[in-house]
Structure 1
Amino acid sequence: MRVIGLTGGIASGKSTVSYILKSLGAVIIDADKVARKVVEPGQPAWQDIVKEFGQQVLNEDMTINREVLGKLVFSDQSLLAKLNRITHPRVIEYFREELARMARENPEAVVVLDVPLLFESGMYRLADEIWVVWADEKVQLERLMEREGFTPEEAWQRIRAQMPLEEKARRADRVINNSGTLDETVEQTTRFFYETISAHDDKIKEKKR
């Protein structure tokens, strides 16, 4: 089994690359979806969030109001750190369990850990190699404002809340430049995917000799 840690900056196009990899046959484990599971009403992380941030972050059905919580934590780095300390350990535990299951059931799979905060959370340690989806900050800003309706100030808050994208790119094994066209992104992602499979197969053959 080969495990790819996929990350990038907010609005850099990571979801697009994840979709392409899925279409190529990779198994995707999406940290955002896992994070939603671990904060469902009654779960330990949900209880900790309510205890820390109060009833103001709940919807009427007792689910977490992500918009309200987001505005709180992205305006205060200390609050964001508290939220991450609550959610990250639970997400990592889920990932470990899923990877163990995949190793038993589908040892030939290419598994992609789709994680926005791959480095910040320490989840990069679960991967065999790291891919970073890169985009120019101006492109990120424009995408956020158009997609989410953020003001420039709100968009910059979200961008600055993460590790600088240039730093992530320096720590990556592969960098996909997603500032261009979709066709260019598809070409890069497809080439990297098959190069990864080929290198993995070569290592297996070498071990069997």
Structure 2
Amino acid sequence: MIRERNENYLVLDADDQIKELYKRGAELYKVLVKEFGDSILNEKGNISKAKLRRTVFFNDENREKLNSLTHPVILKNITEIAKNSDAEVVFLQIPLLNESIDRLEKLIEIDEVWNITASDNIRFKRLMSRKGMTEEVAHRIMEIQSEFDNENYDILTVENNGDFEELKDKLDLFLKIVV
């Protein structure tokens, strides 16, 4: 769940949180299997992210249902960690911020929004590197995950077409300016 930590900042990743919540026996696991059935499970009885993607990314009703079940739990968990952190700056890495911002604002004070972007080509390659990803699903995810756009926030856009170290260097530079 804690993606990165140094003396100045902490990065909390919503996708990393999901891995814990999808584990067999976890409360959310039970809810998702009840809602979507055994078709989202692999042969070992674990939630298959590939099968779940196919179930939700081509059916808006299923996607909205998944988001309504997962977003509150994820946001609550990561904001609790953020509130209890002694880091000067806490980054919340949230892929669907447009869909989560209203709920998130009720849980934690948001000072700034930094929108990390990448070219479509890079985004596609990164998606395709995930286990069980298909081109069809990758394209659909890219359609759904739109840029964050909210007039209530000044948005700093950071381009991330390089590797993780390059992104860290950019963020460290921006942090020196902001903090």
Aligned CA distance change for structure 1 residues 144 and 81 (closer, same or farther; 3 Å): same
Structure-2 residue corresponding to 1:10: none
Q: Give 1:45-64 correspondences, 5 Å limit.
A: 45-64=28-47
Match of 2:95 in 1: 116
Letter in 2 for 1:100: K
Rg larger for = 1
CA displacement, residues 77-109 of structure 1 (integer Å, 9 cap, x when unaligned): 21111111111111122123213322xxx2x53
CA RMSD between the two structures: 3.0
Normalised to the residue count of structure 2, the TM-score between the two structures is 0.78
**Gap runs ≥5 in structure 1:** 1-17, 198-209
Q: Which residue of 2 aligns with 1:74?
A: 57
Supply the AA of the counterpart residue of 1:176: V
Match of 1:178 in 2: 160
> Which one has the bigger helix percentage?
1
Give secondary structure in 1 for the equivalent of 2:91.
strand
Aligned equivalents of 1:136 and 1:73: distance in 2? 24
Alignment of 1:1-209 (within 5 A): 22=5, 25-102=8-85, 106=86, 108-122=87-101, 124-125=104-105, 126=108, 127-145=110-128, 147-148=129-130, 150-151=134-135, 153-162=136-145, 164-165=146-147, 167=149, 172-179=154-161, 185-197=167-179
SS at match of 2:71: helix
What is the letter of the counterpart of residue 189 of structure 1?
L
Query: 2:164, 2:62 → 1: CA distance?
Result: 36
CA distance in 2 between counterparts of 1:136 and 1:85 reads 29
Secondary structure of 1:71's counterpart equals helix
- 5+ unaligned residues in a row in structure 2: which ranges? none
Does structure 2 conserve the Cα–Cα contact (< 8 Å) formed by 1:77 and 1:161?
A: no
Tell whether the 8 Å contact from 1:24 to 1:190 is kept in structure 2 after alignment. Answer: no
Secondary structure, aligned partner of 2:113: strand
Q: What percentage of residue pairs aligned between the two structures are identical?
A: 26
TM-score, structure 1 length as denominator? 0.68
Secondary structure in structure 2 of the residue aligned to 1:28: strand
SS in structure 2 at match of 1:132: strand
Change (3 A) 1:91 1:187: closer
Kindly tell me: are residues 177 and 31 of structure 1, through their superposed partners in 2, closer, same or farther at Cα, counting changes over 3 Å?
A: same
Secondary structure of the residue aligned to 1:165 is: coil
